[in-house]
Amino acid sequence: MSLLDQYTTRLSELEGVDFERAVVARLLRVLDGFQPVPANPHGDGGLDGLSHRQTQGYCCFGMEHATAGTFRQRGKRVVDKFSADLRRLFEIEASGKSKFTHNDNDTLAKIMATGTRLHRVTLISNWFESNTVIGSIQESVARYAANSKCRFVEPTVEVVVRGPSEFADQFGADESTLLSLHRGPFFKSLETRAADVTLPEGPTLERKLKALAAASPPAQLAHITTLGDHLRESCRKALVFEGDLGDALPSMHRALEQAKADLTYSVTLMGQLEPSALLTRAQSAAEAILSNDFRGAYGDAFVRTLATGQVALLVGQCPIGWDWARGSDGH
pLDDT over 50 at 326, yes or no:
no
Are residue 231 and residue 102 in the same domain, yes or no?
no
Of the three residues 171, 195, 230, the one that is the final residue of a domain is: 171
Q: What is the pLDDT of residues 128-159, one digit of tens each?
A: 999 999 999 999 999 999 999 999 999 999 99
Same domain, 164 and 180: no
Co-location of 253 and 194 in the same domain? yes
Taking the C-alpha atoms of residue 45 and residue 217, their distance in angstroms, rounded to an integer, is 68
Strand ranges (DSSP E) for 126-218? Answer: 153-162
* Three-state secondary structure call for residue 16: helix
In terms of domains, do 166 and 245 share one?
no
Asked whether residue 34 falls in the same domain as residue 130, the answer is yes
Give pTM, 2 decimals.
0.67
CB 58 within 8 Å of CB 89: no
For 53-97, what is each residue's pLDDT tens digit? 999 999 999 999 888 889 999 999 999 999 999 999 999 998 877
Cβ atoms < 10 Å from Cβ of 312: 27
For residues 35 and 135, membership in a common domain is answered with yes
Structural domain containing residue 156:
3-171
Q: Are strands 153-162 and 56-61 parallel, antiparallel or unpaired?
A: unpaired
Domain count, the chain: 2
DSSP for 269-301, please give it: TS-S--HHHHHHHHHHHHHHHHHHHHHHHHHHH
In terms of domains, do 28 and 161 share one? Answer: yes
Which residue among 113, 144, 171 closes a domain?
171
Q: Are residues 181 and 313 in the same domain?
A: yes
- Residues 175, 183: Cα–Cα separation, whole Å: 12
Is the pLDDT at 301 greater than 60? The verdict is: yes
Same domain, 131 and 9: yes
